[in-house]
Structure 1
Amino acid sequence: MQTGSISSALEGVGAKLLRQVDLGGGLTIAQWRNFANSRLSYRDPGHHTVSLYLDGTVRRMDRGQCGIGSSGALCLLPADGDSTWHVLRDVYFCHIYISQSRFQRLAGEVFDRDSRTLTLPDLSFFSDGFVADIINRAILPNDWSESTNRLLLAQAADLILLEVLRKNGPVRSSNFVLQGGLSPHNLKRITQLIDADLAGDLSLDRLAAETGLSSYHFARMFKGTTGQTPHRFVQERRLAVAYEIVRAGKVSITEVAAACGFSTPAHFAASFKAKFGTSPSAMRA
């Protein structure tokens, strides 16, 4: 995932990237330090950002969004937003970068609306103890370089996004021109079918038939809505469920492979390692 102008702007003023992990699927987490007297602007970054300030003081200098934030303050920065900042005292903060396609998928599932027209609200320096606790207890203490923590980090980030959307709601993007894609109803039907039948036939032809579309048009519209091909979407769901089963350690690797729709245990093991950086058997060891 490209973290675009936010990372570039921070690097441009000499901010220090303390650590970062790309979790795949349009999700990246980063921890930064920026220094007193830095001034920077973010312009249409192309991805959404959830920010928690851990220490220090910063001022936002935008009409309608001016204010001062410090430790514990949260900010939401939409993909199509602009903002200008002045660091008053050395500031430490955690950023969660969320691609538009990941945002659309989660927002569509929660609000049952065509999420392609939605964006994250632009909010500065608000408090949310639940979101702050997730970052402080589930994200910051973990070793981001450890492959077995990747799914936990991704789930924590998704939970944060869902929580801020539940409390603050998405807003309609003023920059979006609607193009062809799956309706919220059809997208919900397809995602429910996939989750209910991971071991079954989830071929392109079957998924397309559920919507009454040709395979070609379904594939094009599905990717336009979710940002992923149907095959990639199914693979990601199978691996996410398999990860939880493997971690629970109650069934054999062969049974996990079959339950999640992988053709052979070898295919499952190779796909699992490519995604999580470790084999299923090594995770249990």
Structure 2
Amino acid sequence: MNKTYHAFENLSQHRARLQESVQLGSGIQLAAWRNNFDRVTQLSDHHTLSMYVEGGFDTWHKTPAGWKNGGAPDRFCLLPADSESTWDVRGEFSFVHLYCTDAHLRHLAEQIWDRHPATISLDMQVFQQDSRITQLYRHFLLGCDWRNNANHLTLSSASTLLLTHLLQHYSEVNWRLPDVRGGLAPSVLRNIFAYIEAHLASPLTLADLAQQACLSEFHFARMFKQSTRLAPHQFVMQQRMMKAEQLVRHTLLPLTEIALQCGFHSSSHFSNRFKSVYGIAPSALRR
């Protein structure tokens, strides 16, 4: 059952227009919005990372000293759980929200550092800049179609990296990221390969794969790359394309069915990805 996020529901009741949205397992959701001429007060039981995509120059934040603006493309705002903020939107802008429950953030911290912090408090940030956050959401979150199940692994991986970055730099948890040396044991790697092969039609997430190895998402991603020289999302996409190429060449299955078996929700998305990898559309290859 999908969780309801207050910030998401609150925006839905205002003038904000939802462009895309995707839930990535328990505890995190992405939403892409556009808004204009609106006033919104947010008070949520979850954390919200807001990343400006276009515009934002006429977005104003209410402070004790009055209304202040400072929004712009690649600025971000971090709204911790239970923090109240009021916004006056006086011009068109687009933005991406990453919603995260406090339980998910705590679990992520405990898995990465193998410690149990007494509390995890994020620091509220308004109209700030961070090159790492910009890199992650510009390259990964905006770089793929959220409706495509085949991209859920990329989206969940990027979301985990963003949350890890927030823990490191915008909370009281000042622990250095642990060193990860060495790859996965051969038997574990074989099991992961088998699991991926059996679930190529499914919207895999980083949490799904990490669970099979009994590791945190952080450790799994780094150990997997040590073993394969590819990030998990790159490897899975490679396997999807290899399976698709074999099915196109050696079966008479309709291309729509091949797309579904390889994790793509539509034949058009499948065809575009196939052509970007092999330089030819699947229909042309079959002919």
TM (norm. structure 2) is: 0.60
Contact 2:120 2:171 in 1 (8 A): no
* Cα shift at 1:94: 0.6
For 2:153, the aligned partner's letter is L
1:104 deviates by 1.0
* CA distance in 1: counterparts of 2:136 and 2:66, whole angstroms: 25
Q: Secondary structure at the match of 2:69?
A: strand
Give how far 1:235 is off.
8.0
Indicate if the aligned counterparts of 2:46 and 2:99 stay in contact, CA closer than 8 A.
yes
Is residue 2:55 matched to residue 1:55? yes
> In structure 1, what is the Cα distance between the partners aligned to 2:42 and 2:236?
41
Aligned 8 A contact 2:154 2:233 in 1:
no
2:16 match: 15
1:15 partner amino acid: A
Extract unaligned runs of 5+ from structure 1. Answer: 172-187, 189-194, 201-227, 254-272
Deviation at 1:75, TM superposition (A): 0.8
Residue equivalent to 1:105: 107
Deviations 1:47-98 (A, max 9, x none): 2111111323211113389631322211111122211111121221110111
Q: State the Cα distance separating 1:7 from its structure 2 match.
A: 1.6
Aligned to 2:116: 114
Amino acid of the structure 2 residue aligned with 1:48: H
| Structure 2: distance between partners of 1:89 and 1:95 | 18
- The amino acid that maps onto 2:107 is R
Quick check: 1:77–1:122 contact (8 Å CA) kept in 2?
Answer: yes
Structure 2 unmatched ranges of 5 or more: 179-183, 191-206, 225-231, 244-259, 275-281, 283-287
- 1:169-180 residue pairs with structure 2 within 5 A? 169-170=171-172
Q: 1:111 to 1:199 in 2, by over 3 A?
A: closer
| Equivalent of residue 78 in structure 2, options 69, 76, 79 | 76
The residue aligned with 1:30 is 31
Contact 2:42–2:85 (Cα < 8 Å) also in 1:
yes
Task: Determine the C-alpha separation between the residues in 2 that align with 1:14 and 1:158.
Answer: 29
Counterpart Cα distance in 1 of 2:156 and 2:7: 20
Q: Secondary structure at the match of 1:118?
A: coil
Structure-1 residue corresponding to 2:229: none
For 1:67 and 1:32, the matched residues in 2 are separated by 22
Distance 1:236 1:68, change over 3 A: farther
| C-alpha displacement of 1:42 | 1.0
Give the 3-state SS of the residue equivalent to 2:169 in structure 1: helix
Judge which range, 240-249 or 48-57, deviates more: 240-249
Aligned counterparts of 2:8 and 2:20: Cα–Cα separation in 1: 12
Matches within 5 A, 1:1-285: 1-36=2-37, 38-43=38-43, 45-53=44-52, 54-56=54-56, 57-63=58-64, 67-71=68-72, 72-115=74-117, 117-170=119-172, 198=188, 233-234=211-212, 246-249=236-239
Q: Are the aligned partners of 2:121 and 2:171 in contact in 1 as well (CA < 8 Å)?
A: no
Question: What one-letter code is carried by the residue in structure 2 that aligns with 1:49?
Answer: T
**For the residues of structure 2 that align with 1:52 and 1:10, how far apart are their CA atoms?**
15
User: 104-113 or 114-123, which moves further after superposition?
Assistant: 104-113
Matched length: 213
Once the two structures are aligned, what percentage of the paired residues are identical? Answer: 27
**Offset of residue 46 of structure 1:** 2.0
One-letter code aligned to 1:46 = D
The 1:70–1:100 alpha-carbon spacing in structure 2 relative to 1, beyond 3 Å, is same
Note closer, same or farther for the CA distance 1:65–1:137 as it changes in structure 2 (3 Å cut): farther
Q: Would you say the 8 A contact 1:76–1:121 is kept in 2? A: yes
Secondary structure, aligned partner of 2:93: strand
Q: In 2, are the aligned partners of 1:32 and 1:93 still within 8 Å (CA)? A: yes
Q: TM-score, normalised by structure 1?
A: 0.60
CA distance in 2, matches of 1:64, 1:248: 53
